[in-house]
Amino acid sequence: MSTTASTRTPLSPTPRSTVTRLKDRARTDRADLDAVLDAGLICHLGVVLGGSPVVLPTVYGRDGDTIYLHGSTGAGNMRAACTGDISLAVTHVDGLVYARSAMHFSMNYRSAVVRGRPVEITDPDQRLHALQVIVEHAAPGSWDRVRPPSKKELAATIVLALDLTEASVKIRNGGPGDDPSDIATGGVWAGVLPLQQTWGTPIPSPDLDPGIETPTTVLDRTTAAPAMV
């Protein structure tokens, strides 16, 4: 869910967020960052916990220039993220690239990395907004249908905001980059096996009240085409 437009901050404004390896795959258009983030369901969140790095999957949501994260007050990675720098990655694999040699096998992908120091949100209204953004990111059309968070649930939840000013995007597409000598030798299949994610048929909860229809916001996703950049 992106409820407000981003400010179109240029990507890679710092040395540590500038792609140095295979620079031709780097994107500098802010729209590419938004597209990769908005198409993702989860991110991988890297924090330093007890002096050692750990990377854990978690959900997120984007609103304009901000990524929101949430987690239990009992979660070590969330507590670490309240006090230190984090790195957050979103990755989409679009295909497997079969080459004529083992070392040229590759993947087509879209990936984004965001670095920075998140801010813990304490303002009650901002916390609710952030949680709405996260829920709507994963399950659009759901926030207004369901019970809002209780005071007890909110008290047990850390909500973080991460600015998108230090971010990078790398995208690979196309076929194998085989050596000319391997192409000349021939005799080996090479090409791309595309990979697409699709939603399955919704499975109603067994304890559902009779007569409750599957929301259109759920049904609509089962026929939606996969997002591509």
Ligand X SMILES: Cc1cc2nc3c(=O)[nH]c(=O)nc-3n(C[C@H](O)[C@H](O)[C@H](O)COP(=O)(O)OP(=O)(O)OC[C@H]3O[C@@H](n4cnc5c(N)ncnc54)[C@H](O)[C@@H]3O)c2cc1C
- Residue at token pair 């690979």: 172
Give the N- to C-terminal CA distance of the chain in Å, as an integer.
17
| Least distance from ligand X to the Cβ atom of residue 16, Å | 5
Cβ-based nearer residue to ligand X, 12 or 142: 12
DSSP helix, strand, coil percent of the chain (3-state; round to 5): 30, 30, 40
Residue 14 CB, shortest distance to ligand X, in Å, is 9
Residue 200 CB neighbour total at 10 angstroms: 6
Residue 88, beta-bridge partner list: 45, 114
- Cβ proximity to ligand X, 20 vs 216, nearer residue: 20
Shortest approach of ligand X to residue 170 CB, angstroms?
4
Considering only CA atoms, which of 160, 109, 139 is closest in space to residue 219?
139
Residue 27 beta carbon to ligand X: minimum distance, rounded to whole angstroms: 9
CA distance 45 to 68: 12
Which of 131, 174, 225, 163 shows the shortest CA–CA distance to 25?
174
Nearer to ligand X by C-beta: 23 or 151? Answer: 23
Nearer to ligand X, 19 or 75 (CB): 19
Q: Between 22 and 212, name the residue whose CB sits nearer to ligand X.
A: 22
Taking the complex as a whole, how short is the minimal distance between the CB of residue 85 and ligand X, in angstroms?
12
* Binding positions for ligand X, rule: CB under 6 A: 16-21, 91, 93, 107, 109, 111-113, 168-170
